[in-house]
Amino acid sequence: MKSTDLSLPYKAAHLPLQARLFVGMLQKLSVGSLTFIDPKGQVAHFGQLGAQPHAELQVRDWRAAGVILRQGDIGFAESYKLGWVDSNDLLAVFTLALRNEDAMERALHGHWWALLAKRIAHLLLRDNNRRGSRRNISAHYDLGNGFYQLWLDPSMSYSAGIFLPEHAGDLEAAQWAKYDRILDQLDAQPGQTVLEVGCGWGGFAERAAQRGLKVHGITLSKEQLAYAQARIARAGLDGLVTLSLTDYRDVAGQFDHIVSIEMIEAVGERWWPSYFAMLARLRKPGGKVVIQAIDIADARFEAYRSGTDFIQQYIFPGGMLPSPERFVQQAQRVGLRVHSEFEFGLDYAETLRQWRLRFEAQLDAVRAEGFDEAFIRLWRMYYLYCEAGFRERRTGVRQWTLG
């Protein structure tokens, strides 16, 4: 359906070529509706008028049209960062785009040739070898503990919580519930040893030690390590917890159980065999492994792995999501059997929503930490882009129990 406001289609013939192509793409919307505002303030309506989901998108500079058509979500991020595009509800924009994927193909994925350099850089310059892993992790997690304390809950957990009905939306309670479920899956007994691969700010290590477990946590983030060590000391758990700045490939010994919470996303596809081999090598016979992992739908994996997206370019350099099928294949290859899987993607959507609200409430403090408006806009998009992905089931999160 074309615009109900005939002025924009009528004048589209006088727009730059890329602008005409962009408007033509919007005219193909078949699900939901879009209110579109062009740089001159003209308003057009695309899709089925009044249909849900409804979004509003404003283009302030037509240069955004070409960037988005060439580079997809990366181009949208660049345009949003520069203020060339805006919306009063980015979540609705991303939801509308995902539900109209065929019509919005170029806006979502761009042209392969325009993204080739970014894809090569992602594969080569952000490879997760030992040096690359330290660099990639530092780029995201060493932004400063003060920054993360502004919007994470008091548990300082930077992964999906599990919202039980009795939590009534309490994010901190959901984070402790996540740790408790992992510990219950391990069926670990007091005095047993647990290796945590990617210990973050020490939340799981603290919870596990409170149950009498001996935890060795590793990280590549100096900021996280300093915070986690101080946290464990304050809790009086030094005798049960050791934390170190160690690459997962360099861990020696064996442990009764192994836990890794949303760390596999930073491993990189090339290094998945090394990661799973590490799990098999360090797990004592009869022990269990619990991995919490964000994943991409099996049907979308090949397209995803052949390109690069906004998250990999701007938020998590070197990042790569497995699909459930690939995860199982890697586990089975080293002799690990899947005992159970628990999917809770909608809980991640809620986790992200609450992180974003906390972030937005602390913008003055974020600026005081030294972050500019471009950073704020990119992180706002990060929260909303990911939330839309989880709500629309393009991405999921699972706890895998292996043995």
pLDDT-derived band of residue 212, with 50, 70 and 90 as boundaries?
Answer: very high
State whether 38 and 138 are in the same domain.
Answer: no
The verdict on residue 222 lying in a domain is yes
State whether 73 and 154 are in the same domain.
Answer: no
| pLDDT at res. 11 | 60
User: Which residue out of 352, 386, 388, 397 is catalytically annotated?
Assistant: 386
State whether 66 and 171 are in the same domain.
Answer: no
As a whole number, mean pLDDT of residues 395-399 equals: 98
State whether 156 and 75 are in the same domain.
Answer: no
| pLDDT at res. 344 | 98
State whether 238 and 375 are in the same domain.
Answer: yes
pLDDT tens across 50-75, in order? 899 999 999 999 999 999 988 888 89
Count of domains forming the chain? 2
| pLDDT at res. 125 | 52
DSSP code per residue over 93-118 = HHHHHHHTTTTTHHHHH--HHHHHHH
State whether 268 and 369 are in the same domain.
Answer: yes
| pLDDT at res. 139 | 66
| pLDDT at res. 7 | 39
Tell me which residue has tokens 């974003």.
356
pLDDT-derived band of residue 279, with 50, 70 and 90 as boundaries?
Answer: very high
Q: Nearest to residue 258, comparing CAs of 287, 230, 237, 235?
A: 287
State whether 221 and 249 are in the same domain.
Answer: yes
Length of the chain: 403
| pLDDT at res. 313 | 79
Residue 199 annotated among the catalytic residues of the structure: no
Residue 237 structural domain: 130-402
The verdict on residue 116 lying in a domain is no
| 201-to-131, 214, 232, 337 alpha-carbon distances in Å | 22, 17, 10, 29
How far, in Å, CA of 116 to CA of 71, rounded?
10
For residue 122, pLDDT beyond 70? no
For residue 4, pLDDT beyond 50? no
CB 88 within 8 A of CB 56: yes
